[in-house]
């Protein structure tokens, strides 16, 4: 009986381990020529030429980092690898380095996008099922695929925020955790001023 009890305790421990314990054989730290954890200036992606910043999608990938939030976000344009399903992506910064890359695509292209990610990164380390609720109250089942490695993670959400939108987020775990910790500390600091 004691052996069964210890086995049950071990099972609970294994189930409660954080996602970082997963093995993602094809883990990478680079997407679209941009390395997570490094300054954008070290990427192979050039800045967009001024003439391509108007409503014209450039040929070849480039980034635009102008605007009031250029220290936190840049827009990638002309994603050759995704030209048929997404025209742009966002690059998010923390402490001057790339923390994550996000891509939104129309739900119509979910299966195509998913197949591309599976081909490039191998099978996910986790698949979860959930549902989204429409404005009329209808419940639509969705899947969430996660590739979790030692340093980075990739998450694909079948329908994110809206039923017609798929979202992918590729991020550096340590940077994301530092960013979240700093945000929580800021909330505590601001709350103490009341």
Q: Is residue 156 part of a domain?
A: yes
Among 168, 165, 133, smallest CA distance to 153 is for 168
- Tell me the C-alpha distance between 39 and 100, whole Å: 12
Q: Is residue 5 part of a domain?
A: no
Q: Is residue 20 part of a domain?
A: no
Cβ-contact 102, 169 below 8 angstroms: yes
pTM of the model: 0.80
Q: Is residue 8 part of a domain?
A: no
Q: Is residue 3 part of a domain?
A: no
Residues of the chain predicted below pLDDT 50: 1-21, 52-53
Q: Which residue has the tokens 């340590």?
A: 174
Q: Is residue 104 part of a domain?
A: yes
**Would you state the pLDDT for residue 59?**
67
Domain that holds residue 136: 28-191
35-45 pLDDT, tens digit each:
999 998 888 88
Among 79, 77, 72, smallest CA distance to 99 is for 72
118-138 pLDDT, tens digit each:
999 999 999 999 988 888 888
Q: Is residue 15 part of a domain?
A: no
> Domain count of the chain?
1
């Amino acid at each position: 009986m004691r052996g069964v009890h210890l086995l049950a305790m071990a099972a609970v421990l294994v189930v409660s381990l954080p996602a970082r314990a997963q093995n993602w054989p094809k883990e990478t730290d680079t997407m679209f020529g941009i390395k997570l954890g490094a300054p954008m200036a070290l990427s192979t992606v050039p800045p967009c030429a001024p003439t391509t910043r108007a409503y014209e999608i450039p040929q070849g990938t480039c980034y635009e980092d102008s605007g009031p939030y250029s220290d936190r976000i840049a827009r990638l344009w002309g994603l050759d690898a995704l030209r048929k399903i997404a025209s742009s992506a966002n690059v998010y910064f923390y402490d001057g380095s790339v923390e994550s890359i996000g891509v939104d695509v129309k739900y119509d292209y979910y299966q195509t996008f998913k197949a591309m990610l599976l081909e490039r990164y191998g099978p996910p380390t986790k698949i979860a099922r959930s549902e989204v609720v429409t404005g009329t109250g209808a419940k639509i089942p969705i899947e969430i695929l996660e590739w979790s490695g030692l340093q980075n993670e990739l998450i694909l959400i079948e329908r994110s925020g809206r039923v017609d939108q798929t979202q992918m987020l590729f991020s550096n775990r340590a940077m994301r955790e530092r960013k979240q910790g700093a945000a929580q500390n800021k909330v505590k600091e601001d709350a103490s001023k009341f």
